[in-house]
Amino acid sequence: MRGKFNPWQMTLSQLDEVAREIDLDESIHQILRYPKRCLTVSIPIQMNNGKIKVFTGFRVQHNVTRGPAKGGIRYHPSVTLDEIKALAMLMTWKCAVVNIPYGGAKGGIVCEPRKLSLKEVERLTRRYISEIISFIGPERDIPAPDVNTNPQVMAWIMDTYSMDVGYSVPGVVTGKPISIGGSLGRNTATARGVMFTLMNAAKKLKLDLFEKTIAIQGYGNVGGNLAHLLSDEGYKIIAISDVEGGIYNPKGLDPIKVSLALKESGSVVGFKNADKITNQELLTVDCDVLVPAALENQIDEDNADKIKAKVIVEAANAPITPQADKILEGRGIFIIPDILANAGGVTVSYFEWVQGLQAYFWTEREVNLRLRDIMQKAFDKVYRICGERKVTMRKAAYILAIERVAEATRVRGLYP
């Protein structure tokens, strides 16, 4: 489903639509339509069998007007330059929505990490960073984990960069292990931010979440942690899925037992006390809250009219196509957009960066409380714009973000 739409054209159309809505200055509009820098690099590495294989990698910096570029690195066979450009632009808006001093970036390598050994992934990571090393740094561009990357990958990035400059630079990357300058609370930050936005929405919409059912597509870092966090709060999760498929039980699922089944069998479908469903079937199960936490373009015009949830929280980036968005809007479904809902990860990445620069680290409670405050302020601001302008939450979030970046662009002016 990912290949049906051009993600870059989708993000440009969203920008253009909001630009018309807010009567954005044409000169600023043109600046925002173009990424600052797009890198495509060849990554030759020696495989375990002794042969050389060349991979393709990307790093895109969309905008650095409000601060250094910030964005994850993903390893996936479907990575394209247009996808990375789109995600970099989304990162610009995401950072602006929660009002942290970053611009947007994104990186990726075209590969299937599940078919690579750990040593091959390490060599791939280190060679990729060596190819883009002139363009990253704590004051320039700070990578982070994304699809199929994790704290260990971030540790290799930090080490590669540090070896190049001759001293340890914890601030070059976020999402690191705690032992080398990572932040407490970072691993669950995106999921916790999703939970906070859902709880804020429930208050505004006067929904009793304890009486509602929740379905989560995706059981990686975000979906898996979210399932545990929501279950700990007492909310009922009735469907969960991963890349192999999904499970459904209207009486509720215990994420602890699901995770044990995942560890034993390699997939959540190994859990016995539930019906087996596909990822597409999960999207249309009878539930109150749907959380797409997997990949882009999962909800399109073919299945949007089959969605039964009343609230959708976009834990993944761009899981709903623009065409589907209009169908869901027409059906009155309340959508919390990705650039707001999943901004918890970049927010705590910002905390990690600040802690590293100061060499002064916070408790997990401090991290979570500061995250809650920022997510609540951002949600309230977006919800207010939504009501005042009579627009969707997505458009309201874009309006807030684009106006902030546009104002920074106007104030700084054009060099030379």
Query: pTM of the prediction?
Result: 0.93
The confidence score (pLDDT) of residue 239 equals: 97
The confidence score (pLDDT) of residue 253 equals: 96
The confidence score (pLDDT) of residue 6 equals: 87
Q: What is the 3-state secondary structure (H, E, C) of the chain?
A: CHHHCCHHHHHHHHHHHHHHHCCCCHHHHHHHCCCCEEEEEEEEEECCCCCEEEEEEEEEEEECCCCCEEEEEEEECCCCHHHHHHHHHHHHHHHHHCCCCCEEEEEEEECCHHHCCHHHHHHHHHHHHHHHHHHCECCCEEEEECCCCCHHHHHHHHHHHHHHHCCCCHHHCCCCCHHHCCCCCCCCHHHHHHHHHHHHHHHHHCCCHHHCEEEEECCCHHHHHHHHHHHHCCCEEEEEEECCEEEECCCCCCHHHHHHHHHHHCCHHHCCCCEEECHHHHHCCCCCEEEECCCCCCECCCCHHHCCCCEEECCCCCCECHHHHHHHHHCCCEEECHHHHCCHHHHHHHHHHHHHHHCCCCCHHHHHHHHHHHHHHHHHHHHHHHHHHCCCHHHHHHHHHHHHHHHHHHHHCCCC
Question: Rounded to an integer, what distance in angstroms lies between the CA atom of residue 260 and that of residue 242?
Answer: 14
- Name the pairing type of β-strands 103-110 and 69-76: parallel
Which domains, from first to last, does the chain contain?
36-169 (3.40.50.10860), 189-341 (3.40.50.720)
The confidence score (pLDDT) of residue 340 equals: 98
Question: Rounded to an integer, what distance in angstroms lies between the CA atom of residue 81 and that of residue 83?
Answer: 5
The confidence score (pLDDT) of residue 96 equals: 98
pLDDT in tens for each of the 416 residues of the chain? 344 678 899 899 999 999 999 999 999 999 999 999 999 999 999 999 999 999 999 999 999 999 999 999 999 999 999 999 999 999 999 999 999 999 999 999 999 999 999 999 999 999 999 999 999 999 999 999 998 999 999 999 999 999 999 999 999 999 999 999 999 999 999 999 999 999 999 999 999 999 999 999 999 889 999 999 999 999 999 999 998 999 999 999 999 999 999 999 999 999 999 999 999 999 999 999 999 999 888 999 999 999 999 999 999 988 998 899 999 999 999 999 999 999 999 999 999 999 999 999 999 999 999 999 999 999 999 999 999 999 999 999 999 999 999 999 999 999 98
- 30 burial class (0-12, 13-18, 19+ CB within 10 angstroms)? exposed
The confidence score (pLDDT) of residue 317 equals: 87
Catalytic residue among 106, 176, 236, 395: 106
List the structure tokens of 180: 């080398």
- 314 burial class (0-12, 13-18, 19+ CB within 10 angstroms)? buried
Residue 94 is a catalytic residue: no
The confidence score (pLDDT) of residue 2 equals: 44
**Whether the Cβ atoms of residue 283 and residue 259 lie closer than 8 Å to each other:** no
